Amino acid sequence: MADPTKIRANQVGDSTEVKVLMSHEMETGQRNDAQGKPIPAWFIQTVTATWNGKTVLTAHLGPAVAKNPFLSFKFKGGAKGDKVQITWIDNRGEKRTDEAAIA
């Protein structure tokens, strides 16, 4: 299982700014290993962010995204102490969910 997703969520006026660092290899499937064999593709396909059970972001990623992807976004609403939950699913079906409180 991947390392925990690092999440920072801060209230900025009437919006919440969220910064997410996801730990993932993000292999394109276009490289070869030392023996010349293709390295299979392995990358995050979907990222979902929820706040109070409401989806505030859905992103579809692909193999061209760098290792350990960083994502930053804002949404209207949010109050200090509310939870923001980030879930990602990769092309192998692996899934990770982490959450942070809005500061």
Strand spans (E) along 27-82: 44-51, 54-60, 70-76
Distance, C-alpha 87 to centroid of its chain: 6
pLDDT at 1 > cutoff 80: no
Residue for token pair 């699913």: 89
Mean pLDDT of the chain: 96
- Give dist(CA 72, CA 101) in Å, integer: 16
Domains and CATH numbers, the chain: 6-101 (2.60.40.10)
What percentage of the chain carries pLDDT values higher than 90?
A: 97
Selection from 23, 20, 26, 28 nearest residue 1 by Cα:
23
Task: Report the distance separating Cα 97 and Cα 64, nearest Å.
Answer: 22
Residue whose token pair is 């993000």 = 26
Q: What is the pLDDT of residue 3?
A: 87
Question: pLDDT-derived band of residue 58, with 50, 70 and 90 as boundaries?
Answer: very high
- Closest by Cα among 42, 48, 72 to 60: 48
Whether the predicted pLDDT of 8 surpasses 80: yes
Q: Would the pLDDT of 32 be above 90?
A: yes
pLDDT the model gives residue 30: 96
Position 22 confidence tier, pLDDT thresholds 50, 70, 90: very high
